[in-house]
């Protein structure tokens, strides 16, 4: 049976690395029929950079400086967008994503006006197992460019929908 495609506002964040001094470099949010995303120009204090992370997501510091949007603008636009979506975003890695979102807002001294909750809280234990399995299969399917925020929110959404399907 095919999963019913239910819209869910999902967020994914790519970062300069997995370190206490890392910071967000790309944020994407699944919106109805599309994805809103931002590359973020690093703030002056954001200096940590991990070349292994860069190899995974394919985003260079020069790309961020050339194509990125200022952190304050991203924070304001993200607040405005999430307000239209009901004030809540869902993440499959909320500990990391929320930390990087808080880093963004803290750095630009702007209030975070929405919640980020674990997508797993919407699922039963059995559905969480199906979600993890579906996510892993989708990651290796070649259908998505993983470690980029936009494709990742689409992948997470598809895994979520598959986890709701009755089999």
pLDDT of residue 81: 98
Whole-model pTM: value is: 0.92
In a domain, 5, yes or no: no
pLDDT of residue 166: 66
In a domain, 68, yes or no: yes
pLDDT of residue 167: 59
Per the CB < 8 A criterion, the answer to whether 134 and 156 are in contact is no
In a domain, 1, yes or no: no
Please give the chain's pLDDT, 167 residues, in tens. 333 447 899 999 999 998 889 999 999 999 998 999 999 999 999 999 999 999 999 999 999 999 999 999 999 999 999 999 999 999 999 999 999 999 999 999 999 999 999 999 999 999 999 999 999 999 898 888 888 999 999 999 999 999 998 65
In a domain, 24, yes or no: yes
In a domain, 2, yes or no: no
pLDDT of residue 91: 98
31: containing domain: 11-164
The beta strand positions in the chain, using DSSP E, are 11-15, 24-31, 34-39, 88-91, 115-118
In a domain, 64, yes or no: yes
Relative to beta strand 115-118, strand 88-91 is parallel
Give me the number of domains the chain comprises.
Answer: 1
pLDDT of residue 22: 95
User: Cα separation of 96 and 107, whole Å?
Assistant: 16
Name the CA radius of gyration of the chain, rounded.
16
User: Cα separation of 70 and 147, whole Å?
Assistant: 21
pLDDT of residue 79: 98
In a domain, 132, yes or no: yes
CATH number, domain containing residue 92: 3.30.420.10
In 3D space, the residue among 75, 91, 87 whose CA is nearest the CA of residue 40 turns out to be: 75
In a domain, 125, yes or no: yes
């Amino acid at each position: 049976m095919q999963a019913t495609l239910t819209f869910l506002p999902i967020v994914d964040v790519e970062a300069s690395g997995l370190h206490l001094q890392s910071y967000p470099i790309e944020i994407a949010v699944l919106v109805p029929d599309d994805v809103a995303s931002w590359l973020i120009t690093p703030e002056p204090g954001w200096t940590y950079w991990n070349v292994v992370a860069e190899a995974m997501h394919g985003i260079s510091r020069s790309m961020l400086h050339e194509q990125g949007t200022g952190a304050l603008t991203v924070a304001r636009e993200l607040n405005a967008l999430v307000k239209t979506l009901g004030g809540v975003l869902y993440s499959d890695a909320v500990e990391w994503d929320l930390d990087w979102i808080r880093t963004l807002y803290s750095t630009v001294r702007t209030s975070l006006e929405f919640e980020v909750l674990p997508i797993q809280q919407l699922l039963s234990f059995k559905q969480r197992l199906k979600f993890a399995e579906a996510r892993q299969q989708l990651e290796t399917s070649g259908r998505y460019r993983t470690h980029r925020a936009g494709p990742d929110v689409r992948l997470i959404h598809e895994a979520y929908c598959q986890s709701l399907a009755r089999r």
